[in-house]
Amino acid sequence: MEGLIGKKIGMTSVYDADGNRTCVTVIEVGPCPVVQLKTLEKDGYEAAQIAFGAQKASRLAKAQQKHFEKAGVETMKVLKEFKLDAGETLEVGKAVTVANFEGVKYVDVTGMTKGKGFAGVLKKWGFAGGNMTHGGHSKRRTGGLAARDLPGWIEKGKKMPGDMGDVSRKAIGLEVVAIRPEDNALLVKGSIPGARNGIVYVRKSLKNNVKKGA
């Protein structure tokens, strides 16, 4: 499959045979049972809908409960579709594990960044601010917003105060350091978006794998 659903566990360090230290992020990937298969004949494309994260049935709508019941899968928190590799066949109800990434050298990881609430322009955009002394009256203010000429409205894309974080971000081309099927763990070099225990989507990095000969 193109990718799987996982959960960010946290960061740690590992050492290779030469004693070199590498900072890695540990991701719990799968097992992800297949809930539905999309076909060319019926849906116009081929993909597999998989699930991740145990969830009480009482917290789901009845339509969602029936969807899982039809597939013979326990109710779960997250549903996501991924494309299938050429010639790959899957069965509804069968679980896909982290072993799906065996032989893959680079992955892309998508997650939601940490939410930091309402922030001003200094914190959100890195503005320098005004003079803190000598009678300065614009210490942490936004400053001018629009031109004086008509119509004088604020231009689109103007950097202003607002909610910071809690947006989808993708880390591209992360090196796979190790795969531990017994722990459903995938170790990637560097950091990934989001807080601990946050849901992430791990995909095979086509661009880097082709370029670097994976």
pTM: 0.86
Q: Answer whether 101's CB lies under 8 Å from 32's CB.
A: no
Which superfamily is assigned to 3-114+168-211 in CATH?
Answer: Translation factors (2.40.30.10)
Least confident interval from 126-135, 156-165, 200-209: 200-209
Domain with CATH 2.40.30.10 in the chain: 3-114+168-211
- Give Cβ neighbours of residue 52 (< 8 Å, ≥ 6 apart): 4, 5, 6, 7, 30, 32, 76, 77, 78, 80, 199
CB atoms under 10 Å from CB of 143, counted, come to 10
> Which of these, 4, 10, 60, lies nearest to 191 by C-alpha position?
10
Residue 167 has pLDDT above 80, yes or no: yes
Longest distance between any two alpha carbons in the chain, whole Å: 73
**pLDDT tens string 172-198:** 999 999 999 999 999 999 999 999 999
The rounded percent of the chain whose pLDDT value lies above 90 is 75
Average pLDDT of 70-85?
93
Give residue-wise pLDDT tens across range 40-75: 899 998 999 999 999 999 999 999 999 999 999 999
The closest alpha carbon to 55, from 33, 37, 39, belongs to: 33
Alpha-carbon distance of 128 to 131, in angstroms, equals 9
Residue 214 pLDDT class (50, 70, 90 cuts): very low
Report residue 209: phi and psi, to 5°: -65, -40
Q: Give dist(CA 188, CA 111) in Å, integer.
A: 14
| Residue 147 burial (CB count, 10 A) | 11
Residues 30 and 200 sit within 8 Å (Cβ to Cβ) = no
